[in-house]
């Protein structure tokens, strides 16, 4: 989890971009890195595999303020998308503070999305992390493609919601990013569920990239406040 550097007066937080291979995780990080002020960012490190790259870098946002007098430094990581790099995926998830799941909107990639989401749940459980209680955001990438699945189908498959058992939380919570939608809602069968915030994106043009990052960053900061 987050690390405190008292000498530098900084809190370091780790955000991991997870998802299927070639879904847009690397493109997200490259876009962010290219837009962050050079004097606030560290070096972009790339670890190449045969089919994909794992990227990571850190940056100090200038517009998020401080937490109890400490600045917040975010460390952004991608995981390899291919399933046979699962050991690397698990290692990168260690001590994570926030997750962005980057889904590939193409209809033919639905199964790969579901497999990657299931893999995320399993790897988080191995560390004893509860995905329903930590900062977690979903990005539906490649929304510009003609074979992009309808948003409703993606939501049903990848973001059906975690059941809410605490009675004090069983009340409607509007989605601040989508008018008329709720993050916590009661489904027709009577159960209360909480869905992760989601964003539509076209990472190659940057659309939705910073919206996604800002949302997960705010959730991480909320856990520190």
49 CB-near residues (< 8 Å, 6+ apart): 80, 82, 85
> Is the domain of 184 the same as that of 166?
yes
pTM of the model: 0.94
> Is the domain of 9 the same as that of 96?
yes
The domain total for the chain is: 2
Q: What would the pLDDT profile of 206-220 be if each residue is shown by its tens digit? A: 999 999 999 999 999
Give the pLDDT band of residue 165 (cuts 50, 70, 90): very high
Q: What would the pLDDT profile of 131-143 be if each residue is shown by its tens digit? A: 999 999 999 999 9
- Radius of gyration of the CA atoms of the chain, in A: 17
- Structural domain containing residue 183: 162-195
93 CB-near residues (< 8 Å, 6+ apart): 16, 18, 79, 123, 124, 127, 129
Query: By 3-state DSSP, what share of the chain in percent is helix, strand and coil, each rounded to 5?
Result: 35, 30, 35
> What does the block give as tokens for 95?
């001590």
> Is the domain of 100 the same as that of 172?
no
The larger pLDDT score, comparing residue 200 to residue 50, is at: 200
The H helix count followed by the E strand count for the chain is 5, 13
Q: What would the pLDDT profile of 56-78 be if each residue is shown by its tens digit? A: 888 888 666 667 778 889 999 99
pLDDT of residue 83: 65
Q: Residue 22: which CATH number?
A: 3.40.50.300
């Amino acid at each position: 989890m987050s690390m405190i550097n008292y000498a530098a007066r900084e809190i370091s937080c780790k955000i991991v971009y997870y998802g299927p291979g070639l879904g847009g995780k690397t493109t997200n990080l490259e876009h962010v890195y290219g837009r962050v002020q050079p004097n606030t960012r560290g070096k972009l490190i790339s670890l190449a595999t045969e089919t994909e790259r794992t990227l990571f870098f850190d940056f100090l946002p200038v517009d998020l303020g401080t937490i109890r007098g400490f600045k917040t430094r975010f460390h952004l990581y991608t995981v390899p998308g291919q399933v046979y790099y699962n050991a690397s995926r698990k290692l990168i998830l260690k001590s994570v503070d926030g997750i962005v799941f980057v889904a590939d909107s193409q209809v033919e990639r639905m199964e790969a999305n579901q497999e990657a989401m299931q893999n995320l749940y399993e790897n988080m459980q191995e560390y004893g992390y509860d995905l329903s209680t930590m900062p977690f955001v979903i990005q539906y990438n490649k929304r510009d493609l003609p074979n992009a699945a309808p948003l409703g189908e993606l939501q049903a498959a990848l973001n059906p919601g975690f059941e809410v058992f605490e009675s004090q939380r069983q009340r409607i919570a509007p989605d601040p990013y989508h008018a008329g939608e709720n993050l916590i809602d009661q489904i027709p069968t009577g159960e209360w569920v909480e869905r992760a915030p989601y964003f539509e994106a076209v990472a190659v043009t940057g659309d939705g990239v910073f919206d996604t990052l800002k949302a997960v960053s705010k959730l991480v900061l909320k856990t520190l406040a």
